[in-house]
Amino acid sequence: MASINLIESFTEFKEAENIDRPTLMKVLEDVFKTLLRKKYGSDENFDVIVNTEKGDLEILRRRTIVEDGTVEDENAQVPYSEAILIEPDYQVGEELYEEVEILDFGRRAILAAKQTLTARIGDLKKNILVKKYGDRVGEIVTGEVYQVWKKEVLLLDDEGNELILPKSEQIPTDYFKKGENVRAVVKKVELKNNSPLIILSRTHPSFLAKLLEIEVPEIFDGLIVIKKIVREPGERAKVAVESYDDRIDPVGACVGMKGSRIHGIVRELRNENIDIINYTANIQLLIQRALTPARISRMEVDNENKYASVYLKPDQVSLAIGKKGVNIKLACELTGYEIDVFRDEEQEQTEFDIDLEEFADEIEAWVIDELKRIGCDTARSVLDLTSEELVRRSDLEEETVTEVRRILQEEFEKE
């Protein structure tokens, strides 16, 4: 048997397209040199020649021709009388090349070689798959739904590799049908029972980060950086962004004209609300932005214990907390501070106010105009300033200021 057609004899090679040729040749050489060592005790004087294009393999035995009776190593030397039986023109000192027939190894040895080869090719394919997806952790991949189970969905990539999307990594409202294309981020690659397990995720913050990178060129180019992303999948997400170019508004760039950039991402995330906020090192301002869409009246921050007490008008408290407490939970995660929200009692008490125009029958018009000029257009705004400050900031005399304050104060006492 002059050669062996590997493509026909070892069907496993048909699945080895992803293995580069030098690696494949090295594996074949190793397998057959192992056979040679078992049969001849050494593989030093043997050449394994592989033609991966045709699937041919030749094994040549190389020995030096020596005088009869002087053979010291049968693997390295051949007696002259044997050599001339192969080719009469051979001379002592020349090298003799003989082709080793694969069948000479015996059926058991060939079967063992086939099994070894299959195992080695399988290991190579696993290693290639692990490396391929190991290098893509954090990147978005697309797979076709092949099977939907209760706890996970099996996807196939373009090369037929299996990808797993567990239920815990799916958005609660995700619903998949066989044959549908699904986008997800590669979360991790691990070996289970010596088989690669590629885990995908649609709930990980990196999925939203990559979607933004695809939709927002400024993020891809590095002009805008995503400082932090926190998510409650399917409910709400908060993204803190910062621009390295003063001419670029990071929030506006991420949202796009009339929300054009963010709408596609929202649809992909099953209508998840996405709050894009400007990142700042000022923690009070960051907390205020993180509690969007609520408007804060005031806050007290304890930086040492990373704690903030936030006071809001009654109608803003529910907005700050959000549905099922999601908004405040995400704000805490984004800022790294424990945040408690309170009704602003002080604000509630001062909510009642009266426009200065209401006092036109008791206070002269020119006095009201003078007070408005310095920014006091309500009774509260006048009473919040001391008499000395009112005199200093306006053209009013002290007696006039005292009288005005008395009139305004009496009105509140009546209330």
Mean pLDDT for 17-37 is 73
pLDDT of 1 reads 38
Out of 292, 320, 348, pick the residue that ends a domain. 348
Short-list 202, 228, 206, 211, CA closest to 264: 211
Contacts of 132 (CB under 8 A, 6+ apart): none
Are 101 and 12 in the same domain? yes
Contact 253, 224 (CB under 8 A): yes
Instruction: Give the rounded percent of residues in the chain with a pLDDT score beyond 70.
Output: 90
Are 341 and 362 in the same domain? no
Identify the band that residue 9 occupies on the pLDDT scale cut at 50, 70 and 90: very low
Are 56 and 71 in the same domain? yes
Exposure class string for 321-345: b at 16+ Cβ within 10 A, else e: bbeeebbbbbbbbbbebebebeebe
pLDDT of 35 reads 80
Measured distance CA(194)–CA(217) in Å, rounded: 40
Is residue 358 in a domain? yes
Measured distance CA(56)–CA(397) in Å, rounded: 111
Are 118 and 192 in the same domain? no
Identify the band that residue 52 occupies on the pLDDT scale cut at 50, 70 and 90: low
Identify the band that residue 5 occupies on the pLDDT scale cut at 50, 70 and 90: very low
Out of 151, 171, 201, pick the residue that ends a domain. 201
Q: Which ranges in 270-375 belong to alpha helices (H)? A: 283-290, 314-321, 326-335, 345-350, 365-373
Measured distance CA(80)–CA(78) in Å, rounded: 7
By the 10 Å C-beta count (0-12 exposed, 13-18 middle, 19+ buried), 365 is classed as exposed
Position 414 pLDDT exceeds 70: no
Identify the band that residue 31 occupies on the pLDDT scale cut at 50, 70 and 90: confident
301-322 pLDDT, tens digit each: 999 999 999 998 888 888 899 8
Identify the band that residue 180 occupies on the pLDDT scale cut at 50, 70 and 90: very high
Contacts of 334 (CB under 8 A, 6+ apart): 228, 230, 238, 240, 286, 290
Here the CATH number for the domain that contains residue 336 is 3.30.300.20
Contact 335, 240 (CB under 8 A): no
**Domain containing 360: what range?**
352-414
Are 143 and 111 in the same domain? no
Locate 59 and state its tokens: 């094994």
Mean pLDDT for 97-116 is 75
Sign of the Cα torsion 25, 31, 35, 40 reads: positive
323-340 pLDDT, tens digit each: 889 999 999 999 999 999
pLDDT of 220 reads 93
pLDDT of 10 reads 44
pLDDT of 2 reads 36
Identify the band that residue 351 occupies on the pLDDT scale cut at 50, 70 and 90: low
pLDDT of 227 reads 96
Q: Which of 73-82, 189-198, 227-236 has the highest mean pLDDT?
A: 227-236
Q: Which of 157-161, 250-254, 386-390 has the highest mean pLDDT?
A: 250-254
By the 10 Å C-beta count (0-12 exposed, 13-18 middle, 19+ buried), 356 is classed as buried
40-51 pLDDT, tens digit each: 777 787 877 776
Are 13 and 127 in the same domain? yes
Is residue 109 in a domain? yes
Locate 175 and state its tokens: 């619903």
Contact 195, 126 (CB under 8 A): yes
Short-list 330, 335, 328, 321, CA closest to 282: 335
pLDDT of 169 reads 96
Q: Are β-strands 307-312 and 56-66 bridged in parallel, bridged antiparallel, or unpaired?
A: unpaired
pLDDT of 380 reads 81
Measured distance CA(356)–CA(390) in Å, rounded: 15
Is residue 380 in a domain? yes
What Cα–Cα distance (Å) separates residue 413 from each residue in 287, 334, 385, 407, 410? 37, 45, 18, 10, 5
Cα 205 to its chain centre, rounded Å, is 7
Are 109 and 127 in the same domain? yes
Per-residue DSSP letters for 171-199? -TT----TT-EEEEEEEEEEEETTEEEEE
DSSP letter at 100?
P
Locate 155 and state its tokens: 């996807």
Is residue 227 in a domain? no
Mean pLDDT for 200-212 is 96
Mean pLDDT for 76-93 is 80
Out of 91, 116, 131, pick the residue that ends a domain. 131
Identify the band that residue 209 occupies on the pLDDT scale cut at 50, 70 and 90: very high
Instruction: Give the rounded percent of residues in the chain with a pLDDT score beyond 90.
Output: 41
Contacts of 398 (CB under 8 A, 6+ apart): 387, 391
Are 337 and 371 in the same domain? no
Identify the band that residue 297 occupies on the pLDDT scale cut at 50, 70 and 90: confident
What Cα–Cα distance (Å) separates residue 159 from each residue in 18, 130, 142, 198? 10, 14, 12, 14
Phi, psi of 406 (to 5 degrees): -65, -45
Q: Per the structure, how many domains does the chain have?
A: 4
pLDDT of 332 reads 96
Measured distance CA(10)–CA(121) in Å, rounded: 11
Q: Which of 3-12, 111-120, 269-278 has the highest mean pLDDT?
A: 269-278
Mean pLDDT for 143-161 is 93
Phi, psi of 146 (to 5 degrees): -105, -40
